[in-house]
């Protein structure tokens, strides 16, 4: 098979380890980024076929045509940092990272999916593989769709599996985390195509660690007029101690509510996450200064960062991700066409059954990585940043860091009331915590 028989028809994302792949695949590093990423995907598929996802680190949504097999492959990265949707209309397979592009096609019937509406009211985000449009589907993380001209076949090439290694100490894992973060960020910092990068900073440990360890020259945060909601001073203090620049975007109530319609339109589907509007305003503000921004998503889901991860489940209970908004009774009262056969736990059950026998934290993290992280967090960050012309880099979502997290026992992730304990044990991470406490 030659690369002339392989064609990238769609690519959205960022290949973090592109220099290593160019060397391994015989691709010139002097190519412009668009041509280089296209060449990497084509050559990687030529060499490894679908195993190429084991070699590509970063975020991606890809449509790849193999003329020899006469098949189109639609691929989404392991944890779903980039969106990918698809449908079949008039015998043609249509895919895009923007659901609005799909439904704008005149061949696609725009009909509300009542199943998703019912599940959305319960969870507050579009959960699972269905969307708000009937017969338009989301490609789930770690999956690819294979189109042979007649049928779509879905295949799962990766899943989050936690296998605790209790032969190693907390300090050993902390050192491995720091080593892995340094490896990931060295690739980011070695990418001279982005000479000016900035970072979003909340003042919390994740974003502070990322800001301190990266080549970001300035921090950006959101502030509010109401002092009870404003945490920007903590972020400002962190930036000052690190000797880096700082900006705050103060959001007024009027500005926030005026932005909601535009945010939901660009999102493509409803999202009941209030942070999406603030994040959009933050992206709009930072766009004036840079095109590439770091953000710290991924740590909470990999290492256990939410209070819901600590709660003990009652016997025979099912963990319904870290965010569920309404009870089934309330949803039933609200919906005229409520479907009694559609249970709230339906999207969760495959992951819950699959992890039976594992510790509760591993089961919860598997569920959140598979559903909540991509269905809420990445939907928000990907669509809002893209709409503002920002390329958002999330180094902590790199698969190599998950491969460390998956080996860490639950008792190392929560110690007393401290969450993400082993992540916080790293030297630089401890230093960031000291900065925040000064």
pLDDT digits (tens, 9 = 90+) for 282-327: 999 999 999 999 999 999 999 999 889 988 888 888 999 998 888 8
Beta-carbon contacts of residue 57 (< 8 Å; ≥ 6 apart): 15, 16, 17, 184, 187, 398, 399, 400
Q: Are 438 and 237 in contact (CB under 8 A)?
A: yes
pLDDT at 2: 43
Q: How far apart are CA 268 and CA 291, in angstroms?
A: 22
Whether the per-residue pLDDT at 207 is higher than 50: the answer is yes
Q: What is the pLDDT of residue 1?
A: 40
Q: How far apart are the first and last CA of the chain?
A: 60
Q: What digits encode the pLDDT tens for the residues 161-188?
A: 999 999 999 999 999 999 999 999 999 9
Q: Is this prediction's pTM over 0.85?
A: yes
Q: What is the pLDDT of residue 224?
A: 86
Q: Quick one: CA torsion of 206, 199, 437, 276, rounded to 10 degrees?
A: -70
Sheet of 152-156, strands arranged across: 6-15, 58-66, 71-76, 143-147, 152-156
Residues 341-361: b if buried by 16+ CB within 10 A, e if exposed? eeebeebbeebbeebeebebb
CA distances from 197 to 31, 74, 150, 185, 287 (A): 21, 30, 45, 12, 11
Percent of the chain predicted with pLDDT > 70: 96
Q: Are residues 41 and 52 in contact, defined by beta-carbon separation less than 8 angstroms?
A: yes
**Assigned token pair, 3:** 């690369």
Q: What's the sign of the alpha-carbon dihedral 402, 404, 410, 412? A: negative
Which of 254-268, 385-399, 421-435 comes out lowest in average pLDDT? 421-435
pLDDT in tens, 409-431: 999 998 887 889 999 886 655 55
């Amino acid at each position: 098979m030659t690369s002339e028989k392989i064609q990238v028809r769609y690519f959205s994302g960022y290949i973090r380890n592109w220099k290593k792949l160019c060397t391994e695949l015989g691709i010139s590093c002097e190519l412009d980024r668009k041509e280089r990423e296209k060449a990497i995907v084509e050559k990687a598929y030529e060499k490894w076929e679908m195993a190429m996802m084991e070699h590509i680190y970063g975020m991606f949504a890809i449509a790849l045509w193999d003329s020899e097999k006469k098949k189109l492959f639609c691929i989404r990265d392991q944890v779903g940092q980039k969106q990918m949707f698809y449908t079949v209309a008039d015998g043609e397979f249509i895919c895009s990272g923007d659901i609005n592009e799909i439904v704008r096609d005149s061949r696609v019937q725009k009909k509300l999916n009542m199943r998703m509406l019912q599940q959305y009211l319960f969870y507050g985000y579009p959960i699972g593989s269905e969307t708000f449009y009937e017969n338009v589907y989301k490609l789930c993380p770690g999956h690819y769709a294979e189109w042979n001209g007649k049928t779509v076949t879905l295949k799962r090439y990766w899943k989050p599996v936690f296998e605790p290694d209790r032969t190693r100490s907390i300090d050993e894992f902390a050192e491995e985390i720091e080593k892995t973060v340094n490896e990931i960020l060295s690739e980011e910092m070695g990418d001279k195509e982005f000479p000016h990068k900035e970072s979003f900073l909340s003042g919390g440990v994740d974003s502070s660690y990322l800001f301190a360890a990266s080549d970001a020259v300035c921090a950006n945060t959101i502030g509010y007029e109401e002092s009870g909601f404003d945490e920007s001073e903590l972020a400002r203090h962190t930036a000052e101690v690190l000797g880096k620049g700082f900006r705050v975007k103060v959001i007024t109530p009027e500005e926030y509510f005026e932005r909601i319609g535009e945010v939901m339109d660009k999102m493509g589907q409803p999202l009941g996450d209030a942070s999406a509007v603030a994040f959009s305003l933050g992206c709009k503000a930072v766009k004036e200064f840079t095109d590439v921004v770091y953000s710290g998503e991924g740590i909470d889901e990999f290492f256990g960062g939410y209070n819901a991860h600590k709660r003990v489940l009652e016997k025979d209970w099912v963990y319904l991700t870290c965010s569920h908004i309404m009870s089934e009774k309330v949803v039933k009262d609200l919906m005229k066409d409520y479907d009694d056969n559609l249970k709230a736990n339906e999207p969760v059950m495959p992951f819950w059954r699959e992890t039976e026998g594992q510790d509760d934290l591993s089961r919860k993290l598997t569920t959140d990585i598979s559903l909540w992280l991509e269905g809420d967090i990445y939907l928000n960050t990907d669509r809002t940043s893209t709409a503002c012309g920002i390329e958002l880099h999330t180094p902590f979502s790199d698969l190599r860091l998950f491969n460390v997290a998956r080996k860490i026992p639950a008792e190392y992730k929560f110690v007393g009331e401290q969450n993400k304990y082993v992540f916080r044990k790293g030297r630089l991470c401890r230093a960031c915590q000291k900065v925040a406490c000064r």
